Copies of this chain bind each other. A is one copy, B any other.
Amino acid sequence: MTSASLDALAGVQLYFKCENLQRSGSFKMRGASNAVFSLSDEDAARGVVTHSSGNHAAALALAASRRGIRAWIVMPSDSPQIKQRGVAACGAEITVCEPTLAAREAAARDVMKHTGAVMIHPYDDDRIIAGQATAAVELIEQVPDLDYILAPVSGGGLLSGIGLATRHLRPAARVIGCEPAQADDAARSLASGKLEPASKGTTIADGLRATLSQRTLGILQRTADAIALVTEDEIIAIMQLLWERLKIVVEPSGAVAAAPAIFRRLNAEGRKVGIVLSGGNVDPATLRSTMGERNG
């Protein structure tokens, strides 16, 4: 998507890759599809398992349903009912656990032990990263002379795929990861060269709270040019701008990558800037709370 009025605001040519319009409502469908459909028939017959409260859960459930195999999804007890219903609607079996990473991992191991299902990690997996890379492949096919690609970074699966694809197909483009200042572990990890712990801040961008893995940190060290930090107010302002000007709903995590360009922090006057709007799954209360009247 493009918008003349947002271009004027940003001072650059913006090309939005609208992964909020993707099946299952986020880019996660790319990696989940690649992982599920690249399983051998023997492995596929065992089914797949993951732990996720969010978009990876929905995507894996849908991808498994499309291949006609079983899926077990471990979801923390605080994940929204609407997301649990969406996963159940795809025929996946949900195991509810305590909302801690330890409980999630233990429950997933338990499912693997009892069912033999194949674990599909949300980002620490080459099949997932290769799937997410297709977002950049398509964007570069449509806009071959892109100067920048901006995408959110959480666990780093999406940004790793985008970095690898861009270095191969459009090496001149700068790859910028974007994350909330309140969840800045990727920026700190790339600065220090080692995995840094999660931030203690809270952010409305609930999909961006995961931390890099050794695998994604290594890929980003070779392929990402910079990490840009975005404030909570900026995330909300971008969500509002996107519905006002593009008439689309983007979840907080999905809006982050538009902020550095629209708030003119790239020093890229007149350049072509690709932005991955990574998802659109937002619950009614969050959406309502972000739809306040802005000043001016």
Residues of A within 8 A of B (CB): 1, 4-5, 20-21, 23, 25, 89, 240, 243, 246-250, 280, 284-285, 287-288, 291-294
Contacts and interface: CB of A to CB of B under 8 A. Distances in A.
B248 A247 contact: yes
A247 B292 contact: no
B247 A20 contact: yes
Contacts of A246: 21
B280 A247 contact: yes
A240 B25 CA distance: 15
Contacts of A292: 284, 288
A284 B288 contact: no
23 contacts: A1-B21, A5-B89, A20-B247, A21-B246, A21-B247, A21-B248, A240-B284, A243-B249, A243-B287, A247-B248, A247-B249, A247-B280, A248-B249, A249-B249, A284-B292, A284-B293, A284-B294, A285-B293, A287-B291, A288-B288, A288-B291, A288-B292, A291-B291
A284 B292 CA distance: 6
Contacts of A284: 240, 291-294
